[in-house]
Chains A and B, each alone.
Chain A
Amino acid sequence: MHQHPHPPVDTGLTTALDHVFKVGVGGPVGSGKTALIEALVPILLERGHGVGVITNDIYTQEDADHVRRTLDGVLDPARIMGVETGSCPHTAVRDDPSMNLAAGAELVERFVDIDTLLYESGGDNLTLTFSPLLADVYVFVLDTGEGDKMPRKRGPGITDSDLLVINKIDIAPYVRADLEVMARDADRVREGRPVILTDALRGTGLPEVADFITSRRRACSPSA
């Protein structure tokens, strides 16, 4: 009978999923996470990557369906999976990411050419983070419609994410958001960590986001 505890050991439990580069995209409802992913996929495909997308909707498959419609003819719809989180997205991507890991493992098993998985979290305000087990790189998306005060509210999503995207820069004048203030405050609370201003629908800033992801892929996996 086995009654003494062991420290965690390397048990040969690695799977194909462990060798895939995983990008987590989080941020408030409506900030443009889905639009960002939909714009990034063609760029990543053009750069020769095999891509899969996993969305986390709390109540429906709405985001997954939207990605499938938008990327019709670009990405095989079978490469897009929706996870119904059944609870706050914090649980699904940070506290117990097991269902997202299972979804990723299923995709990677079905499509052996996938080398990049984009995980879109269900919308959350400011404090969402990803489990390091689930995401190698963590992108947090704000938008100007939430007001230019948002970066000053901090929260780990804004301050600690690997990349902060400030999206919908095109509507800033209409929602009385001062882009300079947003960018300056974001730089200040993030202590110099990267911030990119985007308009995901028109593509502004998207190559820079793709470049960042590519650079982090190299940092995470020297062989990639």
Chain B
Amino acid sequence: MSLLAQLQLSDSAFPGGLYTLSHGLEAYVQAGPVDVAALLEDVLLHAAGPGDATALVLVHRAVREDDWDTVVAVDQRLHAIKLNRELRAAATRTGNQVLRTAATVFATPELFRLMELVGTGATPGNHAVVLGTAYAGLGVPEDGAVTGDLYAFAASWVSSAVRLRRLDFRQAQATLYGAAPAIERAAAAALAARDPLDLYAATPIADTMSCAHERAPARLFTT
């Protein structure tokens, strides 16, 4: 049952607004030619892995231990390391929408607890934190949860690359499969995290690109 719940949550059909995100890819496309596969690997290893995936793992553990102070600390630190307004807004908008839907669908006490914390403004409710809470409450194993979420990120990335006309649908599937080693490395690094201070992202060029994207005169995606 937990596998099915995980598949449902990580499916792109689960309503959370992910289709509005290119995860930074659009800014690169607007700047010029881009190696979509190489950039995906970089983003997995230096942003999504040490950032969102690590937050998901730490929250998953904290929820299982009923340690909500750590959940809040992880959420706040994840928010802090997202340097651009649009990245923070996207992570909390999708997070809050997924939280609301997941709480309705799965109705776990863990999701209701997080809703209380988000509702009072105690914590921002980033997407990764919502998923970590949902997976922990549903009994999804930690390693499967983080791998599945990184896969969902990569799938969303190649989907946006198709809509940005940088990959055709066959290249997209090949790129997704080619990202598997990076997904595994990013998941392993996230699983090795022990503390909220292990959360980080180190993508200065992507952050700069994201700054430019915030002011782009025309754009398909919100990030």
Contact = CB atoms under 8 A, between A and B. Distances in A.
B97 A101 contact: yes
Interface in A90-105: 91-92, 95-99, 101-102
Given A91-B19, A98-B97, A11 B222 contact: no
Nearest to B14: A96
Interface stretch (A2-10, A35-43, A146-154): A2-10
B162 to A, nearest CB: 11
* Size class of the contact patch on chain A: 20 to 34
Contact of B110 (A2, A85, A97): A2
Contacts of A102: 17, 93, 96-97
A44 interface: no
A115 B72 CA distance: 34
A41 B167 CA distance: 43
A97 B94 CA distance: 11
A13 interface: yes
Contacts of A99: 17, 20, 93, 97, 222
B20 A85 contact: yes
A100 to B, nearest CB: 9
Contacts of B219: 59-60, 84
A86 interface: yes
B20 A8 contact: no
A87 interface: yes
B19 A11 contact: no
Interface string A55-97: 0001110000000000000000000000111110001100111
A98 B94 contact: yes
B119 to A, nearest CB: 9
Contacts of B105: 8
A61 B194 CA distance: 43
Contacts of B21: 86
Contacts of A84: 20, 219-222
A112 interface: no
Q: List 8 tightest A-B contacts by C-beta distance, closest first.
A: A98-B97, A86-B20, A99-B17, A96-B15, A98-B17, A6-B107, A1-B139, A86-B221
5 contacts: A2-B139, A3-B139, A84-B221, A87-B19, A101-B97
Interface of A: 1-6, 8-9, 11, 13, 58-60, 83-87, 91-92, 95-99, 101-102
Given A59-B218, A86-B21, 4 more contacts: A3-B138, A9-B104, A84-B221, A96-B17
